[in-house]
Structure 1
Amino acid sequence: MSVLQAAADLSFWSPIILFFIGVPGAFVSLIVFTTTKQCRHSPTVYYVVGQSLSDVAILLIVLLQSIPSTSMSTSSISCKLLVFFSQLTVASAMTFLCLSAFDRWACTSRSVTVRQLSSLHTARCIFPFPFIVWTLINIPYLIYCDVLPSISSCVFTNAVFARVSVYFLAPIFSTLLPLFVLMIFCMLTYRNIRLVTHSHIQQQQHSVRARSSTWEQQMTRMMIAQTVFSVLCTLPRSVFLIYTIATVDERAMRSYDQIVVELLIDQITLFIVSLNFASSFYIYFLSSARLRATITSLVRNLFTLKHNQVVPCSMPLSTHPFTATKQH
């Protein structure tokens, strides 16, 4: 198999695989985190719900782009909408992931002031902002993206915005900046947990245990696992984007073999970073015993309801003759 064929096969099959793996998991996350009473008391749940919604949208957009009849090159409308929503959903998903990491750092902090940043009221207020902010920022994609008839491809119609998007908006906001934020808050959260574990001040240990319920501890574990996995998935793509930007002036001098190899690396790193949007539920499931027990209980109750359905049945009624005697 040639390198070009391998890149083509990966670009065709990876969206299908990711869609059928990630979408069911995202829907299960939405059901579990929105219907379980203990989950709804955690501020992180709002960010998990926002990330799950964004993940479903991302996987659907990636799948539509791989289908010729719905790809970006079919019409001007599909070009504008798919580019716009792909930028919006990826940035929103990474923002919610960063907010989850921030919330876990605030929740595990020994500072009362910082801990107050982790609250249901704060999460409710912040929840709509990623969608609103990224919608406004990405409006230029609706204006400066269109299908070029001569090559039947979706391209930028404005050279200035093309450079801003390629060198700033797409790599910084969707990859490099979230990677930096995730790494910072992951290390800070781990440091908070270590300080609590090894502290010799019993009063502070008792206050931390009092405010950290079992479910909050499980949420912290899930978010740390998800953050570490996201960093590992995002890092290869970040390195490739930095290399692409640094060598943009050398493209004209590259040979055919170099272009094909870079195309394969592009598809591989794109597949790896896309795992970040298809794996959240499975990371949560593997890292939290409490979540596994909750899902098991929900499934058991579901099957119990199915087996305990009420069906009509006929019951024979036995009647005994009643005789009355007249008393004189």
Structure 2
Amino acid sequence: MANDVKVCDEHACNKYDIICRLFNYFLYVTKVSAIYFPCLAAFDQYASTNRNALFRNRWHNMKVVRFAICGSILFWSILYLPVLIVGNTNNGCAITNYNVRIMLNYITVPLFFFVVPIFLIIFSLRGIVRNLRGLMHNNQQDRFEKHIRRMLIAQLVVLAVSGFPFALDSAYLEAAATLPKRTLGYNRIMPVSTTGGIQIVVPKLHSTKPA
């Protein structure tokens, strides 16, 4: 009877681990894909205002838009495959594989959730403003330039507010999880972070009492 219970528990744990891997995988892929849609839209606006007709016709068309959307989703799906394949989880759906955690918290999250999107938005904003200033100015074009600038600055602020705290939080929790255990006489529990909509659970650190 005990053996049956053990087998059942093992089967349930394996099933739960698969569900957690799928959850973490699709969470990262969908979130990072959603972050880059405003970046693609900003670049499309930059291409549409470019005075070079060859550049404008090459980059500002529906074929490029479809390719950029499908290509970015495919890229993120491949990049985060380690989360699905080797990203072992615990009973809190937290990733326990050390290499995968380092990849996420120190590389992909800070770089692709904050640095690259901010760079793309700033690049597109500067390009749009430069293109509009090169045209013959009138009141309507001035209003349009101000509207574009406000819109892209708003996108920049949203990306900074949502991406930077999440990147900083991920790196902090990963560093805190590797700190040596303290001799406190009780269990020390790290806080649960839900920054950016992704829940990161740091395992509880068990202390030891002095002999």
On the 8 A contact 1:79/1:145 being kept in 2, the answer is: no
Identity %: 21
On the 8 A contact 2:105/2:170 being kept in 1, the answer is: no
Give unmatched runs, 5+ long, in structure 2: 1-14, 181-188, 198-211
Counterpart residue number, 1:88: 29
One-letter code aligned to 1:185: S
On the 8 A contact 2:46/2:127 being kept in 1, the answer is: yes
Counterpart residue number, 1:107: 48
On the 8 A contact 2:46/2:124 being kept in 1, the answer is: yes
Tell me, in whole angstroms, the C-alpha distance in 1 between the residues paired with 2:169 and 2:16: 32
Counterpart residue number, 1:185: 124
One-letter code aligned to 1:137: L
On the 8 A contact 1:145/1:155 being kept in 2, the answer is: no
Counterpart residue number, 1:140: 82
Instruction: Answer with 1 or 2: which has the greater Rg.
Output: 1
Counterpart residue number, 1:173: 112
Using the size of structure 1 for normalisation, the TM-score is 0.43
Tell me, in whole angstroms, the C-alpha distance in 1 between the residues paired with 2:50 and 2:92: 50
Aligned equivalent of 1:79, options 11, 20, 42: 20
Tell me, in whole angstroms, the C-alpha distance in 1 between the residues paired with 2:48 and 2:36: 18
Tell me, in whole angstroms, the C-alpha distance in 1 between the residues paired with 2:174 and 2:25: 24
> Which structure is higher in RCO with an 8 Å CA cutoff and minimum separation 6?
1
- Using the TM superposition, give the Cα deviation of residue 250 of structure 1 relative to its aligned residue in structure 2, in angstroms: 6.8
Give unmatched runs, 5+ long, in structure 1: 1-73, 200-208, 210-216, 254-259, 272-328
Tell me, in whole angstroms, the C-alpha distance in 2 between the residues paired with 1:111 and 1:143: 45
Equivalent residue pairs, number = 172
Gap change, CA 1:227 and 1:87, over 3 Å in 2: farther
Tell me, in whole angstroms, the C-alpha distance in 2 between the residues paired with 1:222 and 1:87: 32
On the 8 A contact 2:47/2:60 being kept in 1, the answer is: yes
Counterpart residue number, 2:154: 229
Gap change, CA 1:160 and 1:247, over 3 Å in 2: closer
On the 8 A contact 2:87/2:96 being kept in 1, the answer is: yes
* RMSD of Structure 2 on Structure 1 (CA): 3.8
Tell me, in whole angstroms, the C-alpha distance in 2 between the residues paired with 1:131 and 1:234: 18
On the 8 A contact 2:21/2:88 being kept in 1, the answer is: yes
On the 8 A contact 1:95/1:178 being kept in 2, the answer is: yes
Tell me, in whole angstroms, the C-alpha distance in 1 between the residues paired with 2:34 and 2:170: 24
Using the size of structure 2 for normalisation, the TM-score is 0.64
Counterpart residue number, 1:123: 65
- Using the TM superposition, give the Cα deviation of residue 132 of structure 1 relative to its aligned residue in structure 2, in angstroms: 1.4
Gap change, CA 1:221 and 1:77, over 3 Å in 2: farther
Tell me, in whole angstroms, the C-alpha distance in 1 between the residues paired with 2:81 and 2:176: 31
Gap change, CA 1:224 and 1:135, over 3 Å in 2: farther
Alignment of 1:199-238 (within 5 A): 225-238=150-163
On the 8 A contact 2:89/2:97 being kept in 1, the answer is: no
SS in 1 for 2:89: strand
On the 8 A contact 1:81/1:142 being kept in 2, the answer is: yes
- Using the TM superposition, give the Cα deviation of residue 128 of structure 1 relative to its aligned residue in structure 2, in angstroms: 1.5
Tell me, in whole angstroms, the C-alpha distance in 1 between the residues paired with 2:55 and 2:148: 18
On the 8 A contact 1:83/1:141 being kept in 2, the answer is: yes
Gap change, CA 1:144 and 1:223, over 3 Å in 2: farther
One-letter code aligned to 2:128: T
